[in-house]
Amino acid sequence: MKLTDPREKSPPLLHLLSHTRPYIANDLKLDYKLDYKLDKNKRDALLAALALLPLYGPAVYLLLRPQLPNDDDRVT
Amino acid sequence: MCEGRGLQGPAPGPRVRPATIATTRAEPGGDGNPSDMDALLPAKWSLRGLNLGILALWFCFGVYAFKFSPNAAVVTDRTLLQAAINLGVDEDGNSINRIFLALFYVLGLLPVIYASLLLPSGKSGNGVPAWPFVSLSMFLGAFGLLPYFSLWQPCARRRDVLGSQSKLTRFLESKANAAVVLASLAGLTAMVATASSSDWSGYLSLFGKSRFTHVSSLDFCVLTLMAPFWVYNDAEQRQWKRG
């Protein structure tokens, strides 16, 4: 069973439902765990991007920077 | 010393024609405007303060790393080091933590980035050579580079930077080197991005117990934070975006 309102997946509601409607609560618990895991994966991906993103600046700069002038280039 | 031909007369090499020397003498600032460089460079006292601050950072980092950092997993440290050198597989054939492995490899990549930024154009105004520190950083990371940063001084005037003829510097200047660095970085990012939650929790656990992981992580942060300054310095020396 899937409910669209995210507020209905909060733990206090689960606690309440586990006493009144245990079959709904079990389904919601599964949804809640899945959502939590998805959020955690997103968080991990974000952490990875943030951890390594600053290094891309210097690396991209090395690729784009102009060459230093050689001796021959200075001859007028 | 800085290779400012306008400051020190003609270069010892035979390839620069007299006309060129005369031109550079007439333009001591490289672009003919010495006050421009004065505006870009920090005042002498603030530079001294910055140097002392970096020296203090180096000292404090060293004291913290060897005295106060967590050291509850000496055997794990040894295993991690051996496994990281052995492409992430320990003696028993088990894979070590992916996040740590990526960190270890990034710490091998950072000295290459710093070498590309420092050796061609990051020479110090007081004649301190960069290569011994860059070489040390291959093994010691920030511990090897921070002393150079604390000793580094900008040249009094903007240099007319010449491309070095050494093979190493030519390679570091090349786009092939930059492409290899970027590709390696992309590979490591993919490695970290595809790591599972257990890898992250394992890494955080290692960070709290293993001195090797803890200090390596801090080393990575210090080196990453210092990089933008040297990018800026390199771009200034190349007069990038100045036509």
Given a contact cutoff of 8 angstroms between Cβ atoms, the answer to whether B216 and B82 are in contact is: no
- pLDDT value at residue B122: 77
Average pLDDT value for residue range B223-233: 90
Average pLDDT over all residues of chain A = 66
Measured in angstroms, the CA of B75 and the nearest CA of chain A are apart by: 27
Encoding tokens for residue B158?
């903007």
- CA B63, B69, B72, B74 dihedral sign is negative
Query: How far apart are alpha carbons B70 and B206 in whole angstroms?
Result: 10
Give tens-digit pLDDT for B45-64: 677 888 899 999 999 999 99
Does the pLDDT value for residue A1 go beyond 70? Answer: no
Query: How far apart are alpha carbons B234 and B224 in whole angstroms?
Result: 16
Question: Cβ separation of B109 and A55 shorter than 8 Å?
Answer: yes
Q: Give the rounded percent of residues in chain A with a pLDDT score beyond 70.
A: 21
Encoding tokens for residue B136?
């040390």
Any domain includes A75: no
* Residue A64 vs residue B160, higher pLDDT: A64
Q: How many CB pairs under 8 A join A and B?
A: 105
Question: Cβ separation of A70 and B162 shorter than 8 Å?
Answer: yes
Any domain includes A71: no
Give tens-digit pLDDT for B127-182: 888 999 999 999 999 999 999 999 998 876 655 556 556 888 888 989 999 999 99
Encoding tokens for residue B111?
């000295």
Amino acid at A7: R
B181 close to A (CB below 8 A):
yes
Give tens-digit pLDDT for B1-56: 454 433 333 333 344 333 333 333 333 344 445 455 555 555 666 778 888 999 99
- pLDDT value at residue A54: 79
Query: How far apart are alpha carbons B229 and B239 in whole angstroms?
Result: 15
In chain A, the number of structural domains is 1
Best probe of the B interface among A74, A75, A76, by most B CBs < 10 A, is A74
Question: Cβ separation of B235 and A61 shorter than 8 Å?
Answer: yes
Any domain includes A28: yes
Domain housing A60: 6-65
- pLDDT value at residue A56: 87
Measured in angstroms, the CA of A20 and the nearest CA of chain B are apart by: 34
Question: Cβ separation of B193 and A45 shorter than 8 Å?
Answer: yes
- pLDDT value at residue A66: 85
Give tens-digit pLDDT for A21-50: 666 666 666 666 666 666 666 666 666 666
Smallest CA-to-CA distance from B79 within B67, B92, B69, B68 is with: B92
- pLDDT value at residue B91: 82
Question: What is the ipTM metric for this complex?
Answer: 0.76
Any domain includes A56: yes
pTM for this entry: 0.71
Does the pLDDT value for residue B112 go beyond 80? Answer: yes
Average pLDDT over all residues of chain B = 79
Q: Looking at chain A, how many residues does it have?
A: 76
Question: Cβ separation of A75 and B116 shorter than 8 Å?
Answer: no
**Spans of all domains in chain B:** 42-237
- pLDDT value at residue A39: 67
Question: Cβ separation of A57 and B227 shorter than 8 Å?
Answer: yes
Does the pLDDT value for residue B107 go beyond 90? Answer: yes
Any domain includes A58: yes
Considering A16-25, B49-58, B67-76, the range whose residues carry the highest mean pLDDT is B49-58
B62 CB-contact burial (10 Å; exposed 0-12 / middle 13-18 / buried 19+): middle
Closest CB to B113 among A37, A62, A67: A62
B3 close to A (CB below 8 A):
no
B118 close to A (CB below 8 A):
no
Axis-axis angle for helices B175-193, A22-64 (nearest 10): 170
Given a contact cutoff of 8 angstroms between Cβ atoms, the answer to whether B37 and B237 are in contact is: no
Quickly state the pLDDT bin for B74 (edges 50, 70, 90): confident
Among chain B residues, CA nearest to A45: B193
Residues of B in contact with A57 (CB under 8 A): 227-228, 231
Given a contact cutoff of 8 angstroms between Cβ atoms, the answer to whether A65 and B240 are in contact is: yes
